[in-house]
Amino acid sequence: MNSIVNGNFQDLSAAKQAVSALTASGFGNDQISFFKVELPGHHLDRPASEGVALEPDATETKLPEAGVGAMSGAAVGGAIGAVIALATLPVLGPMVAVAAVSVGAYGGSLYGVLDSMDSAETDATQRSIMSSQEARQRQSGTLVAVIAADEALQERAKNILIAEGAGDVELTEGQIFNSEWIDFNPNLPLKLLPA
């Protein structure tokens, strides 16, 4: 695998100028790939149906997790309270035993609700992070990619692409053979380089 710096151009003449600038700065023609990405996430050489992942419906609802957590917590807490009640029944009497079961069930249900609320908040945060990453899908346009083996070459390639008008300049890995990026996958998330 090679390190590849690539940028997306909306203007074909700017993409051609970027290829010229890359070769003028020392990158070989065999290190550069230049091709069209027709639709967001679909390379022209691939069937439109390839690699399309159906996302789950964001509006899909689950069972109320707090209610499930409360019920399971109450069952566990009630069981613990019952064990304590049985152990203390001969000493403290039936009223304290009933109170121990009740307090155990209440404490367990409260713990179950709080635990499921924390789990729901964590799930919402993870969905938010995934949504922000999905928002940066590869856009249609012309992709100019160049093999850049070390950090100095990567920086040079990035600066040339940006200077020529590239958007979404990224650093990724792949193989360019005979000026063709043979393992390009438009569905992988972008790994954008800082401008």
Concatenate the DSSP letters of all residues of 39-64 into one string: ETTEETTS-TTTTPPPPPPTT-----
Q: What does the alpha-carbon distance between residue 126 and residue 132 come to, in Å, rounded to a whole number?
A: 10
Assess contact for 6 and 146: CB atoms under 8 A.
yes
The pLDDT of residue 125 is 62
First to last CA, the chain: 24
The better pLDDT of the pair 89, 146 is held by 146
Domain ranges within the chain, ordered by starting residue = 2-41+139-181, 65-134
Structure tokens of 99? 């109170």
Q: What does the alpha-carbon distance between residue 121 and residue 174 come to, in Å, rounded to a whole number?
A: 37
Please, what's the largest Cα pairwise distance for the chain?
Answer: 93
Assess contact for 26 and 157: CB atoms under 8 A.
no
Q: For the whole prediction, is pTM greater than 0.75?
A: no
> Which CATH code for domain 2-41+139-181?
3.30.70.120
Convert the pLDDT of each residue in 111-137 to its tens digit: 666 776 666 666 666 665 555 444 467
Convert the pLDDT of each residue in 143-159 to its tens digit: 999 999 999 999 999 99
Q: What does the alpha-carbon distance between residue 103 and residue 156 come to, in Å, rounded to a whole number?
A: 68
The DSSP bridge partners found for residue 71 are none
| Nearest Cα residue to 171 out of 195, 192, 155, 186 | 192
The DSSP bridge partners found for residue 135 are none
Strands of the chain, DSSP E: 2-9, 32-39, 42-43, 141-147, 167-174, 176-177, 180-181
Structure tokens of 195? 């401008």
The better pLDDT of the pair 160, 92 is held by 160
Count of positions (residues) in the chain: 195
